[in-house]
Chains A and B, each alone.
Chain A
């Protein structure tokens, strides 16, 4: 009996400690939210207290200043199109690499895997040159092509590992029934890839949504194609120390991805676990 009680106390102690740590973890969000509806004067006097005057106009002003709707739309379009493209192209490539392990295909797979170690900085300057030559810069299609290129390696690797476990018999049966090789892939194999496709979607979405340097290099100063990280950075470059507006801008900028995370939390956690085990 005593041991049981001791164990319960210990568990309660651990829980208390974990909750305190969690409060420490979300404290920065409290500071952002609470100060985003204050006047600048009030922020500078006391950054921790609740606002005395609620100033929601911070939000409406910065909404216009950073052209939030445009930035949001661009971020969504770029992320969705790139991720969809990555899923389609990398699953097809991986399928062929698994089913036809010719010397060329094996070498290609090796190239994909090895390329994962290359830091972005070791490619970016030459990429600017190549994309200028191909007239892909300053263009929505251009940046999507870039994300396809950078997203492939990990995605092909993940699909490759998964497809190895898909039994060949199912495909043979479909071929007997007169299904074309393309039909076999799209109607039989692709639907089976759903679990790993979820991982691929999540890992690529988080990365592309938050990416900063590639859009800077490819989109540059074209204001119509600005993404959220670019819009926020530009704001900070122009209005230093305008914390009332800056914090409202930050709060609205982190909202979409946090909402997405809360909605899809289960899949995201599973996706990351699956991705890391394979990796």
Chain B
């Protein structure tokens, strides 16, 4: 084989192996994403997709000066993320602690807790719409507990908690699986050593187990934070952002701006701000938790 044909062979290989991936990635993700920076500064409606008019800082001015609903959605999303991340990780960790014990029904229970996760947010939202409106009403009548008889999807406050409940119900099983894998990897002798040194159960969890499973915590926090911050499907099918726009997440606000109000330019500008927010949050979180990881 001559040197030259070897070189053209290299090119062909690069083309065959990387070409399809590069093309698909470029036209579907890379180019649209980069176009986003341009369209953010235009007026662009959904009807005339070809025509985008450069309007400079108009969109950003509008978002920062006059768009109360966007900032309300931002606040809602931050609150939602904070609450769901805390609750679903605590629940998942608790489930993992229980289901790594020698329980007779262990495998069945693991399956049950995981099942909600394979169903998508759209279908789950519709299922829970029924539970909140009709199921809870019946339970309330049976038990007499006023907790169940509230208009769950009818007020901003209960709508928020409704979304939290379904999100936690859906995501806890997934995180549980990750925590179980991590807990199984904690060396038994280290826990025994802690017990011999006089550490109680919760103390050895805090001082021995938690530091050792820090990598799993990093992953779970990353997954829950980014899923909660980007929540859309559930929002659409459970509350439709309502009542009014009180339970609108950021992702839903962007969707409504573009596809309901037909303001694509403004929607893109919001979406790029959304991207910046997601990046800052995700990078900060990974940086913070990575620092706490230790070697076993």
Contact = CB atoms under 8 A, between A and B. Distances in A.
A93 B17 contact: yes
Given A14-B98, A47-B135, A146-B28, A92 B128 contact: no
Contact of B105 (A18, A92, A120): A18
B21 to A, nearest CB: 4
B223 A153 contact: no
Contacts of B208: none
Interface in B10-54: 10, 13-14, 16-18, 20-22, 24-25, 27-33, 35-36, 39, 49
Interface residues of A, number: 89
Contact of A31 (B98, B130, B177): B130
Using C-beta atoms within 8 Å of the partner chain, give the interface range for chain B. 35 or more
Interface stretch (B58-66, B136-144, B187-195): B136-144
Interface string B106-120: 001111111111111
Contacts of A1: none
A117 B280 CA distance: 10
Nearest to B264: A125
A37 interface: no
A265 B115 CA distance: 10
B271 A254 contact: no
Given A14-B103, A243-B130, A26 B178 contact: no
B28 A47 contact: no
Given A126-B32, A236-B126, A212 B120 contact: yes
B230 A123 contact: no
Contacts, number: 251
Which label, helix, strand, loop or mixed, suits the secondary structure of the A interface? helix
B241 to A, nearest CB: 14
Nearest to B49: A129
Interface in A16-33: 17-19, 21-22, 25-26, 28-29, 31-32
Nearest to B169: A25
Interface stretch (A58-66, A105-113, A166-174): A105-113
A46 B9 CA distance: 72
Given A149-B29, A254-B123, A15 B274 contact: no
B99 interface: yes
B254 A153 contact: no
5 contacts: A122-B271, A206-B118, A247-B130, A258-B115, A277-B181
Interface of B: 9-10, 13-14, 16-18, 20-22, 24-25, 27-33, 35-36, 39, 49, 95, 98-99, 101-105, 108-123, 126-128, 130-131, 134-135, 137-139, 142, 169, 174, 177-178, 181, 215-216, 219-220, 222-223, 226, 230, 232-233, 236-237, 251, 254-255, 258, 264, 267-268, 271-272, 274-275, 278-279, 282
Question: Top 5 nearest A-B pairs by Cβ distance?
Answer: A149-B28, A210-B120, A93-B21, A96-B17, A126-B32
